[in-house]
Amino acid sequence: MPNIPRDTGLDSTWAFLRDPYRFISTRSKFHQSPVFQTRLILQKTLCLTGAEAARLICDPDRFVRQNAAPKRLQKTLFGQDGVQGLDGDAHRHRKALFMGVLTPANVQELAELSEVRWREYARTWRPGESIVLYEIAREILCRTVCDWAGAPIAERDVQQWTQDLAALYEHAGAIGLQHWQARKARRRLEQWAAELVESTRAAPPTPEQSPLERIAHYKDQHGQPLDLHTASVELLNLLRPTVAVSVFITFAALALHKHPFCLRNLQSGDERDIGCFVQEVRRFYPFFPAISARVKEDFLWEGFSFGRGTLVLLDLYGTNHDSQLWEEADRFKPERFRSNSPSPYCFIPQGPGDPHVNHRCPGEGVAVALMSVAVRFLARSLQYEVPEQDLSITWDRLPALPRSHFVMRNARITM
C-alpha cells in the first residue's frame, strides 16, 4: 500500500491563504500525486485534484458534508444548518427545493429581469464618467434577485443589502476585522430574511408561488416546516450566490478586453458563441478554489488509505486547468466548448457531479444565464473605453478579482 505524500512543516495554512486557487495543484505536481496530506489550521487534511478525485468525492457512501466546512465559513459564507452541510435523504429533499425553484423557466425570468436592469443603469451613465463594473454588477444582481425572489428591497436599503450579501463571500476567508464584519452582515441579513419568511407564512398563498413563498412553506422529508433561522439561511442561499455571479461577469469583461478576437466574434456570431465564451470564462478564471468533505468510513482509493473523519479538499480551479483533461489548459479558448461537452467531473467551477443528487451548486444555470445576459450586453449593446488601470488578478484573496474591479469610461448604449 503506497503512503500518501506529506507536506513538510507544521502547518500550511499561510501557504494556502497566499495562493488558495493554485495551492493544491502546485503541491500535487510537486508530490507527483493526485492526493497529498497537509495540515490546515493545524488539522490533518487530504488534498485531491483531477476528474477521478472529483468523481470520488461525490460518493455518498464514502464522504459526508456535515461539519466539513470550517466554522468561519458556516458563520459567513454558507450560514449554519443550510443545504451545504446536509447528507443523505435530508440533503436530497432540501436540494429538491432549490432545483424546483431554479427551473429553466424561472431562471429565464431572472435573466430577463437582469437585462432590464442593465439597460436602466446604463441610461444613467454620463459622458466622461468612470464605472466600476464589479460594483455595478453586484448592485444590479442584488436588485434583480430580490425582486425575482419576491423580496424586493426599498431604494434606501439597496446599497446596504448589496454590501452585506457581497460581504458573505468577499470576507468569508478573511482574517480579522473583515471576517467579523461579514458575521455582522450575516446577522443583519438573517434577521431581515426571517422577518420576510414570517410575514410570508402569515399571508394567504399566491397561485404562482415566488421563491420566497416556496422556501417559507417548504416541508422537509418528515413533513415539518423549516424553523425561521434555517428558512432565512436558505433564502440567503438563493440571494448570495446570485450576487456572487458579479465576479464571473467582471472576469468576462476582462476576457473581452484581453482577447479582442472574442469580442469581434461575439459581436457578429450567434448565441452559441456567447454560450461557449461564458463557459470558458467559468473554466479559465478563478471563482471558488476548493470544496470540502469528511471521510465517512475507512476505505482505499488508488491504493491510498482514507481514514474515517479525515477532512478532504477537492481542487476546483486546478481540475479546470488540468492538462490531462483540457487541451491547452492555460489558454483562453472558448471554441473548445463547441465540440466538447465536458464531463461533470472535469468541468467543475461550481462543484462536481449532478446538481440534483450531489453537492454541485444548484445555481449553476443561474450563473450561466446571468453571465450570458451581461456578455451579450457588453459585446453588442454597450460602447465603452477601458482606461489605464491595474487589471492583474488578486490571487491571494477570495474571491480573486482584477485589482481595479474593471473600470469603464464613457459607457453608452448603442442598441
DSSP 156: G
Decide if 215 contacts 236 (C-beta within 8 A).
Answer: no
H/E segment holding residue 304: strand 304-306
DSSP 221: T
Closest by CA to 365, choosing from 282, 284, 262, is 282
Q: Is residue 19 part of a domain?
A: yes
Q: Is residue 30 part of a domain?
A: yes
Decide if 196 contacts 235 (C-beta within 8 A).
Answer: yes
Q: Is residue 135 part of a domain?
A: yes
Q: Is residue 404 part of a domain?
A: yes
Residue with cell 488578478: 393
Which residues are CB-neighbours of 179 under 8 A, at least 6 positions away?
A: 72, 76, 171, 172
**Averaged pLDDT, groups of 10, the chain, 415 residues long:** 88 95 97 96 96 97 94 91 94 96 97 98 95 98 98 94 97 88 96 97 90 96 96 98 98 97 87 95 97 97 95 98 96 92 95 92 96 97 97 96 98 90
Number of independent structural domains in the chain: 1
Give the C-alpha separation, 390 to 6, whole Å: 37
Q: What is the CATH number of the domain that holds 368?
A: 1.10.630.10
Give this prediction's pTM.
0.96
CA 259 to chain centre: 24
Give the C-alpha separation, 43 to 2, whole Å: 22
Q: Degrees (nearest 5) of the Cα angle 50, 55, 61?
A: 140
Give the C-alpha separation, 145 to 171, whole Å: 21
Beta-strand relationship, 311-315 and 43-48: parallel
Length of the chain: 415
Q: Is residue 4 part of a domain?
A: no
Q: Is residue 8 part of a domain?
A: no
Radius of gyration (C-alpha) of the chain in whole angstroms = 21
Q: State the DSSP string of 307-351.
A: -TT-EEEEEHHHHHT-TTTSTTTTS--TTHHHH----TTT--BTB
Domain ranges, residue 383 = 13-413
H/E segment holding residue 386: none
Give the C-alpha separation, 248 to 232, whole Å: 26
Decide if 290 contacts 273 (C-beta within 8 A).
Answer: no
Write out the three cell numbers for 246: 458579479
Closest by CA to 3, choosing from 44, 47, 33, 39, is 33
Can you say which residues are annotated as belonging to the binding site for heme? 361
42: left (phi over 0), alpha (psi -120 to 50) or beta: left
Helix, strand, or coil (residue 230): helix
Decide if 293 contacts 395 (C-beta within 8 A).
Answer: no
pLDDT, position 1 = 62
Three-state secondary structure along 173-201?
CCCCHHHHHHHHHHHHHHHHHHHHHHHHH
Asked if omega into 289 is within 30° of 0 (cis), the reply is no
Decide if 397 contacts 287 (C-beta within 8 A).
Answer: no
Q: Provide the CB-side half-sphere exposure for 118 (13 A, CA).
A: 28
Closest by CA to 102, choosing from 414, 364, 311, 328, is 364
Can you say which residues are annotated as belonging to the binding site? 361
How many other CB atoms are there within 10 angstroms of residue 175's CB atom?
11
Q: Is residue 71 part of a domain?
A: yes
Q: Is residue 397 part of a domain?
A: yes
